Amino acid sequence: MSERMTISPGQTPSGLSLESSSTFDRSVIDYVQRASATGLYEIRGLGAKRRLPHFDDLVFLGASLSRYPLEGYREKCSTKTLLGTRFATKPIELAIPITIAGMSFGALSANVKEALGRAATEMGTSTTTGDGGMTPEERNSSKTLVYQCLPSRYGFDPDDVRRADAIEIVIGQGAKPGGGGMLLGQKVNPRVAKMRTLPEGVDQRSASRHPDWTGPDDLAIKIRELREITDWEKPIYVKVGATRVFNDVKLAVHSGADVVVVDGMQGGTAATQTVFIEHVGIPTLAALRQAVDALEDLNMRGKVQLIISGGIRSGADVAKAIAMGADAVSIGQGILFSLGCNSHTYVQDGRHVDAVSDYHALGTAPGFCHHCHTGRCPVGVTTQDAKLELRLQPEVGAKRVRNYLKTLNMELTTIARACGKQDVHHLEREDLVALTVEAAAMANIPLAGTSWVPGRV
């Protein structure tokens, strides 16, 4: 491709017409030209980057004269969360309603998986395996570990099923509902390859449907099989990527799930087609509303627990999700950022080491990087490279994630107390109002200062 001349505004000769197009802006032109040059779609990591209606578009109605707040420290605000109370004889009790989402060993390094287990254990919450099997590191470091059963079934093992604290059957992912897993060859190192029974260095693209069942009637039978294998002890979650959420949640409940996990389109991924990330699936806000509607329609609120994920970042997001009707949230990308994803530096033995040049080598910069798929993570989070993975020391990662979860939980209880709740699960959707018409319509919550909910008759 020929080199293009760049013109910076300071040097602009007078008389040039520089009107840019909204339809074909510079990113679109880049996309067309990259497609033309390579004949391939773009693959990347993380989640949707476009602006979407989200929890930021809601605010809480704190207590005042009509409702009375609780004091910050002396007056208790419980965050205890029970999951899997419907059929499992050994449901899960968490200290906080904030869990760590499924991210595979393969997408993440073994160090990172260990760090997540440690942090989750210290905070009294759960972590989740991912599309690559269970590593001894994460099992040993995690008090409560959710074991995913995915279409690929990589490394799926009955001993691990028995070792797990819950099983999560993954139907889809918010970043790519209807698509299968993907891990490019540069991350399929000998250990990853062995765990997944794949040739080393192969570009792994896994199936989008489970190999041994299709549809909710079969899923009911699959869930029964997993219950038989675990002697009905362990909670069984069903995770769906957000699309036709109302129907999917109902069918998951009919199929016998203890817990339904709904992942909105802002959810992250280790690698998939950009077109998938940005154009398939619905926003987390809309998905959560539909999921709660489905549970209420079936009169299953509190019997089947709902976990929402996909762009949960802050304690405010957690509080809003719970107020809208989630029992817990699950965080993936937030955890990666907590570990140092997109940071200028990584920490080695207490020192910050500059990583900017490594971002540049990938063709990106801190704050913009979504190059998880390359396996060349400059801060050692999403890599299988023997040198790069040392950039994330498990104890540093564990501490950072613990701090992050702790902050989120404190923010959550701050809001809950301000709304007068002795238990965060007592937050209700009437504690919220919306700032935009879109959010009001999607969340079915009145526009602030009005009683108007678009679409409500």
Partner 1 sequence: MESVTKQIADWRLATGRFGQRKVFDLAAVSVRELNQYLHKELPENSLPTVVVNNPDGAHSIAAGMNALVDIEINGHVGYYVAGMNKHARIVVNGNAGPGAAENMMSGLVRVRGFASTSAGASARGGLLVIEGDASLRCGISLKGADIVVGGSVGSFSAFMAQAGRMVICDGAGDALGDSLYEAVIYVRGEVKSLGADAQFEPTTDTDRAVVAELLAVAGFKHDPSEFRRVASARKLYHWNAEAGQEY
Partner 2 sequence: MCGIVGLLLKDPGLRPRLGELMVPMMIGMTERGPDSAGLAVFTEPVEEGTYKISLYTGEQVVDWKGLLQKLRMAIDAKFDVVTSGNHAVLTSTASPSIVEAWIAEKLPQIAVLSIGRSIDLYKDIGAPADICKRYGFAKLQGTHLVGHTRMATESAVTPAHAHPFTAGHDFCLVHNGSLSNPHLVRRKLEPLGIEFETDNDTEAACRYFEWRLREGDDLKTAVQRGFEELDGFYTFLMGTDDELAIVRDAFACKPAIVAETDDYVAIASEFRSLAHLPGVHKARLFEPKPQEVYAWKV
Task: By CB under 8 A, name the binding residues for partner 2.
Answer: 209, 214-218, 220-221, 224, 246-247, 250-251, 254-255, 297
CB of 220 to partner 2, least distance (A): 6
- For residue 386, count other CB atoms closer than 10 A to its CB: 9
Whether residue 68 contacts residue 62, with contact meaning beta carbons closer than 8 Å, is answered with: no
CB of 294 to partner 2, least distance (A): 9
User: What, of partner 1, partner 2, none, does residue 337 touch, CB below 5 to 8 Å by kind?
Assistant: none
Nearest to 294 by CA among 331, 332, 325: 325
Question: What whole-number distance in Å separates Cα of residue 4 and Cα of residue 62?
Answer: 55
CB of 298 to partner 2, least distance (A): 9
Nearest 5 degrees, angle CA 248-CA 299-CA 451? 90
Over its C-alpha atoms, the chain yields an Rg (Å, rounded) of 23
Q: Which is nearer to partner 2, 209 or 456 (CB)?
A: 209
How many residues at the interface with partner 1, by CB under 8 A?
A: 39
Q: Which is nearer to partner 2, 30 or 297 (CB)?
A: 297
Question: What whole-number distance in Å separates Cα of residue 262 and Cα of residue 345?
Answer: 33
Question: What whole-number distance in Å separates Cα of residue 144 and Cα of residue 238?
Answer: 17
Interface with partner 1, residue 191, by CB under 8 A: no
The number of C-alpha atoms within 13 Å of 360 and in the hemisphere containing its C-beta is: 5
CB of 298 to partner 1, least distance (A): 24
CB of 396 to partner 2, least distance (A): 47
CB of 262 to partner 2, least distance (A): 15
Q: Which residue in the block uniquely carries the two structure tokens 């990106």?
A: 364
Q: Which is nearer to partner 1, 219 or 319 (CB)?
A: 219
Interface with partner 1, residue 124, by CB under 8 A: no
User: What, of partner 2, partner 1, none, does residue 71 touch, CB below 5 to 8 Å by kind?
Assistant: none
Q: Which residue in the block uniquely carries the two structure tokens 């990938």?
A: 362
User: Which tokens in the block code for residue 316?
Assistant: 């405010």
Question: Which region among 55-63, 69-77, 153-161, 278-286 touches partner 1 (by CB under 8 A)?
Answer: 153-161
Q: Which is nearer to partner 1, 43 or 405 (CB)?
A: 43
Q: Which is nearer to partner 2, 86 or 196 (CB)?
A: 86
CB of 208 to partner 2, least distance (A): 12
CB of 200 to partner 1, least distance (A): 10
- For residue 94, count other CB atoms closer than 10 A to its CB: 21
Burial class, 406, CB count within 10 angstroms (exposed 0-12 / middle 13-18 / buried 19+): middle
H-state helical runs in 124-244: 136-141, 158-163, 190-196, 216-229
Burial class, 39, CB count within 10 angstroms (exposed 0-12 / middle 13-18 / buried 19+): exposed
Of 86, 118, 176, 222, which lies in the binding site for partner 1, with binding defined by CB under 8 A? 222
3-state DSSP call for residue 245? helix
Of 75, 231, 296, 423, which lies in the binding site for partner 1, with binding defined by CB under 8 A? 231
CB of 287 to partner 2, least distance (A): 16
Question: What whole-number distance in Å separates Cα of residue 175 and Cα of residue 282?
Answer: 10
Of 1, 5, 18, 65, which lies in the binding site for partner 1, with binding defined by CB under 8 A? 1
Q: Which is nearer to partner 1, 190 or 199 (CB)?
A: 199
Whether residue 380 contacts residue 390, with contact meaning beta carbons closer than 8 Å, is answered with: yes
3-state DSSP call for residue 100? strand
Q: Which is nearer to partner 1, 39 or 367 (CB)?
A: 39
Interface with partner 1, residue 338, by CB under 8 A: no
Residues 6+ apart with CB under 8 A from 360: none
Question: What whole-number distance in Å separates Cα of residue 420 and Cα of residue 10?
Answer: 56
Of 5, 16, 18, 40, which lies in the binding site for partner 1, with binding defined by CB under 8 A? 40
Interface with partner 1, residue 453, by CB under 8 A: no
Interface with partner 1, residue 206, by CB under 8 A: yes
User: What, of partner 1, partner 2, none, does residue 229 touch, CB below 5 to 8 Å by kind?
Assistant: partner 1
3-state DSSP call for residue 51? coil
Nearest to 141 by CA among 402, 408, 379: 402
Interface with partner 1, residue 29, by CB under 8 A: no
Q: Which is nearer to partner 1, 196 or 376 (CB)?
A: 196
Applying CB under 8 A, the residues found at the interface with partner 1 are 1, 36-40, 43, 152-153, 156-159, 161-162, 184-185, 196-199, 202-203, 205-207, 211-213, 218, 221-222, 224-225, 228-232
